[in-house]
Amino acid sequence: MREIQKYIHKVQYYETDQMRVVHHSNYIRWFEEARVDLMEQMGMGYDRMEELGIASPVLGVEADYLRMVRFGDTVSIRTRMKEYNGIKLTLEYEVTDENTGMVHCRGLTKHCFLNEKGRPVSLKKDYPDIHALFVGVMGQEK
């Protein structure tokens, strides 16, 4: 598997408030954009997972806002798997200004895997090929 690349996002005007500062809720959206990008880089995009009947809902979100991001800034978002056991997944995010290299936000999201009936799924047991993709990404980060 190739090395996972950071996700790049240019701040749009609609993401800001009257002071041209990014509204805090948009960081959560950026986490999702970065998560979708990570899954696609892994070769297991959400569209493919859903075709297989696997959902991955968000169980929790945390964000620590360190510095403001403003309209016109470009940020990179590094996404890292913090925990994965085949049933649950925790991802960490670091939002960094592309020009200065300063970290502006850190956060995490927690997920599980469910089948079409809303019951927990063990990727390790039921989808070993998908499980191997997640383990491969975890191995890159160690």
- Return the CATH number at 59: 3.10.129.10
Its domain, for residue 63, covers: 7-140
The mean pLDDT of the chain is: 94
**CB under 8 Å, gap of 24 or more: what pairs does 99-103 form?**
99/73, 99/74, 102/67, 103/66, 103/67
Q: Do the domain assignments include residue 86?
A: yes
Task: Provide the domain count of the chain.
Answer: 1
Q: What is the pLDDT of residues 1-60, one digit of tens each?
A: 568 899 999 999 999 999 999 999 999 999 999 999 999 999 989 999 999 999 999 999
Rounded CA-CA distance 118/92 in Å is 25
Q: Does residue 90 register a pLDDT over 70?
A: yes
In a domain, 129, yes or no: yes
